[in-house]
Amino acid sequence: MEERLQKLIAQAGIASRRASEELITAGRVTVNGKVAELGQKADLEKDRVLVDGRPLKAVEAPVYIALNKPRGVVTTADDELGRPTVLDFIPISTRLYPVGRLDLDSEGLVLLTNDGEMANRLSHPRYEHPKEYQVLVARQPDLQQLEAFRHGVVMPDGYRTVPAEVRVEASHGKGAWLNVVLHEGRKRQIRETCAQIGLPVVRIIRVRIGSLRLGNLKPREWRHLTPAEVEALKAPNKILRRSAPKDRRITRPRRDPTSTASPSRKTPKAPRR
């Protein structure tokens, strides 16, 4: 079946659909030995498509899997240090890619798929798919710490994180469980943020990616997504407006010097007789 080249390239996980269009217009894609044109279609069962000289293979049937990643496991397809990876728990021959990385000591929901287009969409910060976490901290947070987390903090590299949703769910000894919802995916963002505001992290569990929830999966357990879950993840995500940082001044429109009316005051009504 013929499909547009940019769709085939995106499905193969080489680039997003927009970036695939740029590959085509740059002359880096050929079909049966001829430089491809934007909008051209191809059938990978019949046509030989090359991207930067490498053959584009037909994509296997899409697979979507939710895994509860335990601690001590890396969220990659392969690890040069020989550590266990999330793919070690999935006995499937199809080549899968993890979406939504978690660091070695974090646990919880990881999505694995061979759908490159979905992987790019869920990973791209533009779409701001919310990710929800249960975070155990070693001490009770005060209001100032919670407000700093909510409004964003300056990371060691100078980047200021966007506002997050944070609430205390329950006390736990001297510490507390926090519910945290992030709208960006900075590396080790929760750990770095907590370090900045003085909250030692004990445990991080991701429980949601977009509309997909961890549910009752136990560590190391996995399952296939339902068709309804796949469609919900593919649905367009509403891009959220980011709140302006406190140190950023909001520019107000200048007043017309020829105008006699005050923009901030309403004209008083005439008194009733």
Contact 113, 64 (CB under 8 A): yes
Closest CA to 163 of 152, 176, 177: 152
Give residues with Cβ within 8 angstroms of 59, minimum separation 6.
8, 11, 12, 44, 114, 116
User: How big is the CA angle at 46 (ends 42 and 52), to the nearest 5 degrees?
Assistant: 60
Residues tagged active-site: 103
Cα–Cα distance, 67 to 232 (Å, whole number): 18
- Cβ atoms of 102 and 206 within 8 Å: the answer is yes
Q: 217 and 67 in contact (C-beta within 8 Å)?
A: yes
